[in-house]
Structure 1
Amino acid sequence: MRGWWREISGLVLPVACGGCGTPRTPLCEECARALYGTAARRARPVPEPAGLPVVHAAAPYADAVRAVLLAHKERGALGLARPLGVALTGAVRGAVSSADRRTGPLLLVPVPSARRAVRARGHDAARRMALAAAGELRRTGTEARVLPVLRQRREVADQSGLTARMRVENLAGALAVAAGGGRLLEGGRVVLVDDLMTTGASLTEAARALRAASGMRFPGLLQLSAAVVAVPPLSFEKNRN
Structure 2
Amino acid sequence: MSSFSPLMPDVVRAAFADALAFVLPVSCAGCGAADVALCPACAVLLARPSDLVRSVGDGLVVHSAFRYVDEPARMLRALKEDGRTALARPFGRALAMRAASAFPGEDLVFVPVPTSRASMRRRGYRVVELLTRRSGLPALAALRPARRTADQRTLGREERASNVRGSLVATPAASGRRVVVVDDVVTTGATLEEAMRALTAAGADVRGALTVAATPKRRFDA
Q: TM-score range by the shorter chain?
A: 0.7 to 0.9
Other-structure match for 2:121: 119
Other-structure match for 2:103: 96
Q: Tell me whether 1:156 sits opposite 2:139 in the alignment.
A: no
Q: Tell me whether 1:146 sits opposite 2:139 in the alignment.
A: yes
Q: CA deviation at 1:29?
A: 2.3
User: Which one has more relative contact order, counting CA pairs under 8 Å at least 6 apart?
Assistant: 1
Once residues 200 and 33 of structure 1 are traced to their aligned partners in structure 2, the CA distance between those partners, rounded to angstroms, is: 28
CA-atom RMSD, angstroms? 2.2
Q: Tell me whether 1:202 sits opposite 2:191 in the alignment.
A: yes
Q: Tell me whether 1:27 sits opposite 2:38 in the alignment.
A: yes
Are 1:26 and 1:79, in contact at CA under 8 Å, matched by a contact in 2?
no
**Counterpart mapping for 1:3-152 below 5 A:** 15-44=26-55, 48-50=56-58, 53-97=60-104, 102=106, 104=107, 106-134=108-136, 144-152=137-145
Are 1:153 and 1:176, in contact at CA under 8 Å, matched by a contact in 2?
yes
Structure 1 pair 145/97, CA: closer, same or farther in 2 (3 Å)?
closer
Letter in 1 for 2:189: G
Q: Which runs of 5+ in 2 are unaligned?
A: 1-23
Are 1:92 and 1:226, in contact at CA under 8 Å, matched by a contact in 2?
no
Normalised by the length of structure 1, the TM-score is 0.74
Normalised by the length of structure 2, the TM-score is 0.80
Structure 1 pair 33/222, CA: closer, same or farther in 2 (3 Å)?
same
State the SS of the aligned residue for 1:43. strand
Q: CA deviation at 1:38?
A: 4.0
Are 2:144 and 2:169, in contact at CA under 8 Å, matched by a contact in 1?
yes
Q: Which runs of 5+ in 1 are unaligned?
A: 1-12, 135-143, 215-220, 236-241
Q: CA deviation at 1:125?
A: 0.5
Look at both structures and tell me which one has the larger radius of gyration over its CA atoms: 2
Q: CA deviation at 1:14?
A: 5.5
Other-structure match for 2:20: none
Aligned residues: 196
Aligned match of 1:233 in 204, 213, 216?
Answer: 216
State the Cα deviation string for residues 39-78 of structure 1 (Å, max 9, x = none). 322134xxx423x521111110011101100000111101
Are 1:207 and 1:224, in contact at CA under 8 Å, matched by a contact in 2?
no
